[in-house]
Amino acid sequence: MSKDRQAGSGVSFLGAPRSGGERSEPERSGAPKNEADSTPPDPEVPDRPLRRRFSATYKLNIVQEADRCDKPGQIGALLRREGLYSSQLTAWRRLRDRGALDGLASKKRGPKSEPPNPREKEMNQLQKENARLQKKLAKAEAIIDFQKKVHALLGIPLKEMSEDD
């Protein structure tokens, strides 16, 4: 190396020397210019992240759009644009092949409930009617007993009724 370069002849290995004024830090880094304008970020973190849910029509549209991709890299661009993983696309294609929108629709989680039995519904209805009629009968019997007591107090004879009447 020559002595000129080592002594600092104005040419530097790091590039041209800086111009007279230095750039200010906020302009270069995109940081706010005034400290009073900046608000600190919210440190609160949600308990659980929200799980994304996709409708069956959205899934079908994405799968169809991916099937239309014919150039290399188009599917990757589609997945990046939509924020999806290739495994999701694979699973959605598999579901589509099984049964279009029915296969792509989200399933209700948890144990499956059995359909109501029509006889059980009728039985519940009959039990309610039976309970209602028993209450009505108890009221009628109380009224009849009261009438008997009133007749006895007043001394009015009652006709004896047979069980058949």
Residue type, 105: A
Q: Please report whether residue 25 resides in a domain.
A: no
Query: Quick one: pLDDT at residue 159?
Result: 76
Same domain, 97 and 64: yes
Confidence of residue 136 (pLDDT cuts 50, 70, 90): very high
Higher pLDDT, 81 or 101: 81
Same domain, 60 and 85: yes
Structural domain span for residue 100? 56-104
Long-range contacts of 52-57 (CB under 8 A, 24+ apart): 53/106, 54/106, 56/101, 56/102, 56/104, 56/105, 56/106, 57/101
- The whole-number average pLDDT for the span 134-151 is 93
Confidence of residue 34 (pLDDT cuts 50, 70, 90): low
Q: Please report whether residue 49 resides in a domain.
A: no
Q: Please report whether residue 79 resides in a domain.
A: yes
pTM of whole model > 0.75? Answer: no
The count of structural domains within the chain is 2
Query: Quick one: pLDDT at residue 26?
Result: 47
Q: Please report whether residue 37 resides in a domain.
A: no
What number of other Cβ atoms are within 10 A of residue 1's Cβ?
5
Confidence of residue 8 (pLDDT cuts 50, 70, 90): very low
Highest mean pLDDT among 66-80, 92-106, 111-125, 143-157: 66-80
Same domain, 97 and 65: yes
Nearest C-alpha neighbor of 105 from the set 96, 114, 117, 118: 96
Q: Please report whether residue 29 resides in a domain.
A: no
Q: Please report whether residue 5 resides in a domain.
A: no
Q: Please report whether residue 74 resides in a domain.
A: yes
Question: 10-14, 47-51, 66-70, 129-133 — which is least confidently predicted?
Answer: 10-14
Q: Cα(121)–Cα(38) distance, rounded to whole angstroms?
A: 65
Same domain, 99 and 131: no
Tokens of 146: 């009261």
Q: Cα(46)–Cα(50) distance, rounded to whole angstroms?
A: 9
Q: Please report whether residue 8 resides in a domain.
A: no
Please check whether residue 78 is in contact with residue 66, taking contact to mean a CB–CB distance below 8 angstroms.
yes
Same domain, 72 and 100: yes
- 37-53: per-residue pLDDT in tens? 578 877 777 777 778 88
Higher pLDDT, 37 or 26: 37
Burial of 63 (0-12, 13-18, 19+ CB in 10 A): buried
